[in-house]
């Protein structure tokens, strides 16, 4: 048997002698079984990779959403602080505005914490 001849090997024209009974049989059936098992393993690994990619994409989307919420909250807090500077004489407005700013930041940080859990 000349194993260097790949064309002949791929077509299965080589015969193999069974060590137990001496019967001749084509090598292709053994190779086909091995290739089928290898292909099955590869498909399973591919499905696992695709599932993991989906998980990572979901986590990335959550991170992006949390980041956007945090940026929006930071911008809102900047606006609130600017208004407080303008209306610093109005204690009720200042107190309410500070409370609103803290609430916005807490919501954004909660969203970021949830995204980090993914």
Q: How far is CA 114 from CA 13, 66, 73, 101, 109, in A?
A: 61, 8, 16, 20, 9
98 neighbors 83 (Cβ within 8 angstroms): no
pLDDT tens for each residue of 15-42: 556 666 666 666 556 667 777 778 888 8
Tell me what pLDDT residue 87 has.
79
Enter the pTM of the model.
0.49
pLDDT tens digit string along 88-106?
777 887 888 888 888 888 8
Q: Identify any residues that bridge with 16 across adjacent strands, giving them in sequence order.
A: 25
pLDDT for residue 63: 86
Residue 58 and residue 45 in contact, taking contact as beta carbons nearer than 8 Å: no
Looking at every residue in the chain, the average pLDDT score rounds to 76
More confident residue, 46 or 18: 46
Of the candidates 10, 11, 112, 3, the residue with the CA atom closest to the CA atom of residue 62: 112
Annotated domain spans of the chain: 6-117
């Amino acid at each position: 048997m000349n194993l260097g001849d790949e064309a002949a090997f791929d077509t299965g024209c080589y015969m193999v002698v069974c060590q137990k009974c001496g019967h001749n049989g084509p090598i292709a059936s053994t190779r086909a079984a091995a290739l089928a098992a290898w292909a099955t393993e590869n498909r399973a690994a591919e499905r696992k990779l695709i599932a993991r990619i989906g998980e990572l994409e979901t986590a990335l989307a959550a991170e992006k959403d949390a980041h956007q919420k945090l940026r929006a909250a930071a911008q809102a807090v900047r606006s609130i602080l600017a208004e407080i500077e303008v209306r610093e004489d109005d204690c009720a407005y200042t107190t309410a505005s500070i409370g609103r700013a803290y609430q916005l930041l807490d919501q954004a940080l909660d969203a970021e914490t949830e995204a980090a859990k993914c």
